Amino acid sequence: MASTVVWLGFFALSNAAEDETRAGAWWLPDTTMRLGLDLRGGIHWVLGVKLETAIEHELDVLASQIQEDLDDRNVTVRSIAREGATLVVDAGSTAQADVRKALGEWQRLETAGGEGDGLRYVLTDAAERDVRETGMLQVLEVMRRRIEDPQTGIPESVVTRQGSDRVLVQIPGGELERAQARTLLDQTGFLEFKIVLDQDRSEDLLRARLPDGLPPETKIAFQRDRLTNRVQFAFLVPEKPDITGEKLKHAAVGFDQRGRPIVNFTWKPDGAETFAKLTEESIGKQLAIIVDDDVYSAPSIRSRISTRGQIEGQFTSDEAGELAVILRAGALSVPVVIEEERTVGPALGADSIRRGLNASIVGLLAVVAFAGVYYRLSGGYAAIALLVNLVMIVGLMSMFGATLTLPGIAGLVLTVGMAIDANVIIFERIREELRAGKLPRGAIRTGFEKATWTILDANITTLITAIVLYEFGTGPIKGFAVTLSIGILTSVFAALVVTRLLFQLWPGDRPVEAVSI
Q: Which helix (H) or strand (E) holds 281?
A: helix 269-281
What is the predicted pLDDT for the residue at 470? 82
Q: What's the rounded Cα separation, in Å, for the pair 181 and 431? A: 57
Inter-helix orientation angle 406-435/377-399, to 10°: 150
3-state secondary structure of 80: strand
Under DSSP, the state recorded for 247 is: G
Q: Which of 32-36, 107-111, 396-400 has the lowest mean pLDDT?
A: 32-36
Burial of 11 (0-12, 13-18, 19+ CB in 10 A): buried
Evaluate if pTM is beyond 0.85: no
Q: Which helix (H) or strand (E) holds 181?
A: helix 175-186
Beta bridge partners of 344: 42
Q: Please write down the HEC assignment for all residues of 414-464.
A: HHHHHHHHHHHHHHHHHHHHHHCCCCHHHHHHHHHHHHHHHHHHHHHHHHH
Pair 263, 321: CB distance under 8 Å:
no
pLDDT over 60 (residue 23) = no
pLDDT over 50 (residue 15) = no
pLDDT tens digits, residue range 268-310?
888 888 888 888 899 889 988 887 778 888 888 878 888 887 7
Burial of 1 (0-12, 13-18, 19+ CB in 10 A): exposed
What is the predicted pLDDT for the residue at 1? 39
Given pLDDT bands bounded at 50, 70 and 90, which one contains residue 4?
very low
Given pLDDT bands bounded at 50, 70 and 90, which one contains residue 25?
very low
Pair 439, 507: CB distance under 8 Å:
no
Q: Which of 82-86, 140-144, 238-242 has the lowest mean pLDDT?
A: 140-144
Q: What's the rounded Cα separation, in Å, for the pair 262 and 312? A: 5
Given pLDDT bands bounded at 50, 70 and 90, which one contains residue 198?
very high
Given pLDDT bands bounded at 50, 70 and 90, which one contains residue 206?
very high
Q: What's the rounded Cα separation, in Å, for the pair 496 and 310? A: 49
pLDDT tens digits, residue range 315-361?
677 777 766 766 665 656 678 888 888 876 665 556 766 776 777 67
Q: Which helix (H) or strand (E) holds 295?
A: strand 294-297
Q: What's the rounded Cα separation, in Å, for the pair 136 and 281? A: 39
Q: Which of 81-95, 203-217, 243-257 has the lowest mean pLDDT?
A: 243-257
Q: What is the mean pLDDT of residues 223-229?
A: 79
pLDDT over 60 (residue 30) = no
Q: What is the mean pLDDT of residues 243-263?
A: 79
Q: What domains lie within the chain, and their CATH numbers?
A: 2-36+349-505 (1.20.1640.10), 43-49+145-339 (3.30.1360.200), 52-128 (3.30.1240)
What is the predicted pLDDT for the residue at 274? 87
Q: What's the N-to-C CA distance of the chain in angstroms? A: 31
Given pLDDT bands bounded at 50, 70 and 90, which one contains residue 20?
very low
Q: Which residues contact 198 (CB under 8 A, 6 or more apart)?
A: 206, 209, 210, 235, 236
Higher pLDDT, 11 or 513: 513
Q: What's the rounded Cα separation, in Å, for the pair 173 and 155? A: 10
Pair 347, 38: CB distance under 8 Å:
yes
- φ/ψ (deg, to 5) at 240: -90, 135
Q: Which helix (H) or strand (E) holds 196?
A: none
pLDDT over 70 (residue 152) = no
Inter-helix orientation angle 349-375/406-435, to 10°: 0
Higher pLDDT, 115 or 173: 173
In residues, how long is the chain? 517
**In 10 A of CB 84, how many CB atoms?**
11
What is the predicted pLDDT for the residue at 134? 79
Average pLDDT, the chain: 79
